[in-house]
Structure 1
Amino acid sequence: MNQNINSILAILGGIFLAMQGGFNAQLGVQLRNPLMASLVAFFFSMVFALLVVLLSLKSFPKTSILFDIPKYLWFTGAFFSVVGICLYYYTIPKLGISTMISLGLFGQLLFSTIAGHHGWFGMPQEPMEIKRILGVVAMCIGIFLIKKS
């Protein structure tokens, strides 16, 4: 796929994440429990993912590959996902969706910039350059403008 299509898919992914945050925050308010909303969301996410995997999987990974995967990789992503999503569902009704999503995106941008600079998680190193620092500063200014009443 070319980079333009990948960029469009990334933007759509961001739109879908903002939408799910809004819907599931509403569910958390209705249930009076953002943790319950997270449980419901993750349950149905598992059901949908299972359906997609069953419909698209050509072959199951070999047992040796499964056993070679470090144990922590089986659960750490899920743990951080649950904590992050629960924080979204809890804070969206209190801050508003645009403020919460912009602050959440800032957290992602800040962390990913640092992680990319150091090459954490086995990813390619992306040196901290002035344009990256200016991008983070521009995001801060954007958040300030979104939050300003």
Structure 2
Amino acid sequence: MNQSLLSIIAFIGGVCLAIQAGFNTQLGVLVKKPILASISTSISGVLFAFVFVMLFSKDIPNIQTAKQVPWYLWFTGGLFSIIGITLYYFTIPKLGISKMISMGLCGQLVFSVVAGHFGWLDLPLEPITLKKMIGVSAMILGIAFINSN
């Protein structure tokens, strides 16, 4: 796949996450428990993922392959997902969606640049360059503008 198409797909993924955050924030506010909205996201996510695997996956890993995966990799993504999503649903009604999403993206960007530089989480090494620093700085400046009155 070429870079342009991958970039468009990534952009659409971000739009989907913002839409999902908006809907589930409404749910969290109505039930007065953001964690219940996170549970709803997780359960419905499992159901939709299962359908997508059945429709689009050519082969499913066998038991032997699944056993080779360290146990914690089956759970830690879900833990951080629930924490992050619940924090989104908690803060969106207080900050607004544009402020919360901009701050969330800033956290993702800063962490990803540092994690890539050091190869944390077994990620490919991506050294911090002057271009990356300028880009991160521009994003932080943009976030400051978004969050200013």
Instruction: Quote the offset at 1:98 in angstroms.
Output: 0.2
Could you say which residue in structure 2 is the equivalent of 1:88?
88
Could you say which residue in structure 2 is the equivalent of 1:127?
127
Instruction: Quote the offset at 1:128 in angstroms.
Output: 1.0
Letter in 1 for 2:85: I
Letter in 2 for 1:133: M
CA distance in structure 2 between the partners assigned to 1:40 and 1:123 by the alignment = 30
Q: Calculate percent identity across the aligned residue pairs.
A: 50
Instruction: Quote the offset at 1:56 in angstroms.
Output: 2.1
Q: Which runs of 5+ in 2 are unaligned?
A: none
Could you say which residue in structure 1 is the equivalent of 2:106?
106
CA distance in structure 2 between the partners assigned to 1:131 and 1:59 by the alignment = 40
TM-score (norm 1): 0.97
Instruction: Quote the offset at 1:62 in angstroms.
Output: 2.1
CA distance in structure 2 between the partners assigned to 1:19 and 1:60 by the alignment = 30
Instruction: Quote the offset at 1:63 in angstroms.
Output: 1.8
> How many residue pairs end up in the alignment?
149
TM-score (norm 2): 0.97
Letter in 2 for 1:41: T
Could you say which residue in structure 2 is the equivalent of 1:78?
78
Instruction: Quote the offset at 1:143 in angstroms.
Output: 0.7
Letter in 1 for 2:108: Q
CA distance in structure 2 between the partners assigned to 1:62 and 1:47 by the alignment = 20
Per-residue displacement from partner, 1:90-120 (whole Å, max 9, x unpaired)? 0000000000000000000000000000111
Could you say which residue in structure 2 is the equivalent of 1:46?
46
Aligned counterparts, 1:51-66, within 5 A: 51-66=51-66
CA distance in structure 2 between the partners assigned to 1:15 and 1:148 by the alignment = 23
CA distance in structure 1 between the partners assigned to 2:89 and 2:98 by the alignment = 13
CA distance in structure 1 between the partners assigned to 2:21 and 2:97 by the alignment = 8
**Larger deviation: 49-58 or 15-24?**
49-58
Provide the alpha-carbon RMSD of the alignment. 0.9
**Larger deviation: 88-97 or 118-127?**
118-127
CA distance in structure 2 between the partners assigned to 1:138 and 1:125 by the alignment = 23
